[in-house]
Amino acid sequence: MVDAILGEFLQSGPGIHVGTCNEQLRPCGFRATGAKVEDDGRLPTYQDKFSTEVTSREPRLDMLRRLCLPMMVALVASCGSGRSPSPTAPSSSGIDSAPAGTLTFRTSPIDPAAIRWITPLGNLNPPGHTTPTDHIYFYFANPDAGESFAARRTDFFAPGDGTVTTVFGGVGQETKLFIRQTSTFTYYLDHLILSAPLTRGSTVTAGQRLGTTGDAYAIDLGVRNEGLTLNLLVPRHYPADTIHTDAPLKYFDEPLRSELYARVRTLGPNLDGRIDFDVAGRLSGNWFLGDTAAASFAYDTYDQSRVFISLGLGSVVGVFTIAPGDPPPVDVSKESGRILYRLDRAVNVPGRFPPPGPAAFLLVEMVDDSHLKLQAFAATAVPDGFTDRAALLTR
């Protein structure tokens, strides 16, 4: 359905993809053309109905999860590029009656000496992560320095005790693992290659070696806290892991907590990051085309004062900054009328700067508090208004 209406989203023309350079997790590939998805071993590409192609090095599983979002519950195994759920073991008391209490992490998931940096909550990397990420990244290989994730592969440990509730993957393959520790706290790990079988009901202990890092430059750590509900205006668009996202690092025991916070790559002051930028009646936050994330107006995880715009569909895909003097999205409302943003390539690698000149132009207009008219244009000419290809997005 999304492919059928992409023509209404963006002006046709040369495909543009811009990602935040240091957040490209791994060079893996699939090709999506219409409803067909095929693994061809090359860089991932998305080809819309105008045959304009965009590229990204987003991890295959995460990208497919987003592209398959409307079918996620029913088809998550098939969207996992070979990572299928483990057989369901008999229900265990560890899952059904987890103790009350808070989350405790006692071990880093990878050796702190192997950590290049930690990216906090809220990274943007469309189309797989058009909206801010609900997990943090522990980078152990630096793609911008030409490092190989295979050469720097390292042991992967359980950071905390708990009982396995879900396994996507298995021994010897890329795996995502969910572990419940208390009645309200579950944590999950991704880009892990298991060295021994784990199924629903298996117990793990902090410091237990689970395997090695996978085919990515970083590993993921996420926390679901059912006692916390984020300010996301239309909850039905998000999985529970996102609605109840919590910041993982604060749950590590000292002195490890301070050691890990010191590795977070940000100018601060918020070392945990943030993912909920929705503001009722304002442009700020996430916007959807049907059930698919189309755009997010958020902030950089490195320079938290810098507006980032993430576009996830059509011929202009990527993460962009806005020009000096352009209004912050939190200040844009229905009363603002039509707003033209000049989009510059977003780079959040310290010491690296984007090429000169705009990458694209973006016209937006809030129709009402929950509907947004949006159209992106290539940077060949300043647009003077919307065309009939403008999209109507919703919260």
What is the per-residue pLDDT across 75-126, written as a single tens digit (0 to 9) for each? 333 333 345 444 433 344 456 678 899 999 999 999 999 999 999 999 999 9
Token readout for 34 is 């219409």
What pLDDT sits at residue 137?
98
Residue 95, helix vs strand vs coil: helix
Please, what is the Cα angle at 145 between 142 and 150, to 5 degrees?
50
What is the per-residue pLDDT across 267-322, written as a single tens digit (0 to 9) for each? 989 999 999 999 999 999 999 999 999 999 999 999 999 999 999 988 889 999 99
Is residue 240 within 8 A of residue 222, CB to CB? The reply is no
What pLDDT sits at residue 268?
80
- The mean pLDDT of 63-73, rounded to a whole number, is 38
Q: How many Cβ atoms sit within 10 Å of the Cβ of residue 329?
A: 23
Q: Give this prediction's pTM.
A: 0.78
Indicate the helix (H) or strand (E) that contains 118.
strand 117-119
Residues 137 and 236: their CA atoms lie apart, in Å, by 26
Residue 228: pLDDT over 50: yes
User: Which residues in 55-92 are b (16+ Cβ under 10 Å) and which e?
Assistant: bbbbbbbbbbbbbbbeeeeeebeebbbebebbeeeeee
Give 150: exposed, middle or buried? Use CB within 10 Å, 0-12, 13-18, 19+.
Answer: exposed
Q: Where are the chain's structural domains?
A: 2-394
Amino acid at 168: F
Q: E-assigned strands of 332-390?
A: 339-345, 360-368, 371-378
- CATH label, 2-394, candidates 1.20.59.10, 1.10.10.10, 3.40.50.300, 2.70.70.10: 2.70.70.10
Token readout for 65 is 């999860």
What pLDDT sits at residue 355?
62
What is the per-residue pLDDT across 119-152, written as a single tens digit (0 to 9) for each? 999 999 999 999 999 999 999 999 989 999 999 9
Residue 65: pLDDT over 70: no
CA dihedral (321, 324, 326, 330) in degrees, to 10, reads 70
Nearest one of 267, 313, 222, 236 to 15, comparing CA atoms: 313
